[in-house]
Amino acid sequence: EDKVVQSPLSLVVHEGDTVTLNCSYEVTNFRSLLWYKQEKKAPTFLFMLTSSGIEKKSGRLSSILDKKELFSILNITATQTGDSAVYLCAVNTGNQFYFGTGTSLTVIP
Amino acid sequence: GAVVSQHPSWVICKSGTSVKIECRSLDFQATTMFWYRQFPKQSLMLMATSNEGSKATYEQGVEKDKFLINHASLTLSTLTVTSAHPEDSSFYICSVIAGGRWTQYFGPGTRLLVL
């Protein structure tokens, strides 16, 4: 059975901290892994990863994929209160997208 | 990325009425759209895959006669919640896949409250 597991389920940090969110997967026919940020609305796209070892970076956010160990991490440096959200990981296996349950991040001023 | 809109963004209705939600792909011809439902503090739950010009594919446990999906064109899919009940109150989100079918872009979502 295809599955995507995210950890931790929730995280509370102080502004300025660095956080690492994890996403592991077991799927057949891997195509891509995607990270989304969801605040009180629909998810917004962050990154798409298809190749191992190539870091994707956008400002303070970065992500990398390890296709051998079947996981990805999302790093956020110098966190701000605006980073508070649920971060979703999804794996595309062709026409199917499997979502993790998300990591709820709360950044305290 | 693809730009996706949904209408309405918010709807409140009485129990027993039907509600139609539109999902439009504004800059991309989407042969496939997805419909999700999300309850508070829960992850997205895929309801159905909407295919242009053919019948939607529903996930197990989703009643196709209750959640009618029509994907009449490459830019528009509609979800109609028929005879809505309070337990149908949820956040409904559509998405399109783009980028060689490897990336999914979401609409802004529609919050449905059934009284």
Average pLDDT in the B43-53 region?
Answer: 88
Residue A107: strand pairing partners: A13
Regarding beta strands B57-58 and B67-73, do their DSSP bridges make them parallel or antiparallel, or are they unpaired?
A: unpaired
Average pLDDT in the B70-84 region?
Answer: 91
pLDDT given at position B103: 83
Give B74's pLDDT tier (boundaries 50, 70, 90): confident
CA distance B49 to chain A (A): 9
CB B101 within 8 A of CB A95: yes
State whether residue B103 sits within 8 Å of chain A by CB: yes
State whether residue B28 sits within 8 Å of chain A by CB: no
> Which pLDDT tens digit goes with each residue over A9-44?
999 999 999 999 999 999 988 999 999 999 988 999
State whether residue A43 sits within 8 Å of chain B by CB: yes
CA distance A109 to A44: 23
pLDDT given at position A2: 86
Percent with pLDDT over 90 in chain B: 64
Percent with pLDDT over 90 in chain A: 84
A82: phi then psi, degrees, rounded to nearest 5: -70, -10
Interface test with A, best of B104, B105, B110, B111 (most A CBs within 10 A): B104
Q: Among A19-33, A91-105, B48-62, B97-111, which is the least confidently predicted range?
A: B97-111
Which of B46, B97, B109 shows the shortest C-beta gap to A42?
B109
